[in-house]
Amino acid sequence: MKQIDSYVNAVYQNVGGNKKEIQELKEEMRIHLIETANELIKEGLPEEEAIKMAIQRFGDEKSISSGLTELFKYQKKFTTNLFRVAVVSVILAAISFFSIIQLEEGYQSSLKNMTQGILNVVNNEELISTTEIKIIEEHTAEFQEKYDTLSYLGVFYDDNQDADLHEPNEAQYIYPENATFSKDKINYGVGSNNWYVEAQLEDDYRDYFYLIPYSFLIISFVLLLVWLVSKIYNRKQYFNFEGK
């Protein structure tokens, strides 16, 4: 049916967009016109007249072409911007995630420096001197000033190689002073040469940082879903427009 092919090509002649998508739309439009023409032929109309009427039902090719061009432009702009925002959200999620990892590594490094510094001070003694306590206090204060997550810290000497966690009243140094604490709440500990540093570290705002990349990932997922739905909806809109 050359008339239908000519009509379809004329409609899409000046319509810009994805070539593969336009070709698919042209084919579906062609199939729709042929089906309409065949139905009219079954109703008793001659083939040429049936094709002409099927085309007339679609409308003037210039009006349809102009309308499709505007529709393509608007919807292409919308879906393109939607996709770009989704991609940016994924990139921001990755950046924030790696930034959080770096913050966590910095935190663990500072914690290790504090506890190792304390162990270095007391390493060759069995009792902590007043001078050593001042140095330990400096290490503790430096860490607290930066992170403020230390709710308890105890320094113990124990020559029992199988030593378990200690109670606060066994400590030679304790932070904060006169702290009472149950050893089952201790969540960090290191030891060297019979000296042990045990602590409880509280959760801080850093834990909430993980909400940032997850939020960006959720946003990107929703946007990509909307983008996909929009692409499907747009195809339906093209055919609704063509059938007017």
Question: pLDDT tens digits, residue range 208-242?
Answer: 777 888 899 999 999 888 888 877 766 555 555 44
Q: Name the band, by pLDDT with cuts 50, 70 and 90, for residue 162.
A: low
SS3 state of residue 209: helix
SS3 state of residue 150: strand
Give Cα 205 distance to the centre of its chain.
19
The pLDDT, as a whole number, for residue 163 is 62
Across the chain, what does the average pLDDT equal? Answer: 81
Strands 150-157 and 188-192: unpaired
Q: Between the CA of residue 224 and those of 19, 91, 173, 220, what are the distances in Å?
A: 22, 14, 56, 6
Q: Which strand ranges, in their side-by-side order, compose the sheet holding 195-201?
A: 173-175, 150-157, 195-201, 188-192
- Give me the phi and psi of 92, to 5 degrees please: -65, -35
pLDDT tens, residue by residue, 68-117: 666 666 777 777 888 888 899 999 999 988 988 888 888 889 999 999 99
Q: Which residues of 219-238 are buried (b: 16+ CB within 10 A; e: fewer)?
A: bbeebbebbeebeeebeeeb
| Cα–Cα distance, 117 to 125 (Å, whole number) | 14
pTM over 0.75: no
Higher pLDDT, 57 or 42: 42
pLDDT tens, residue by residue, 16-47: 666 777 787 788 888 888 888 888 888 888 88
- Among residues of the chain, what percentage have pLDDT more than 70? 79
| Cα–Cα distance, 238 to 235 (Å, whole number) | 5
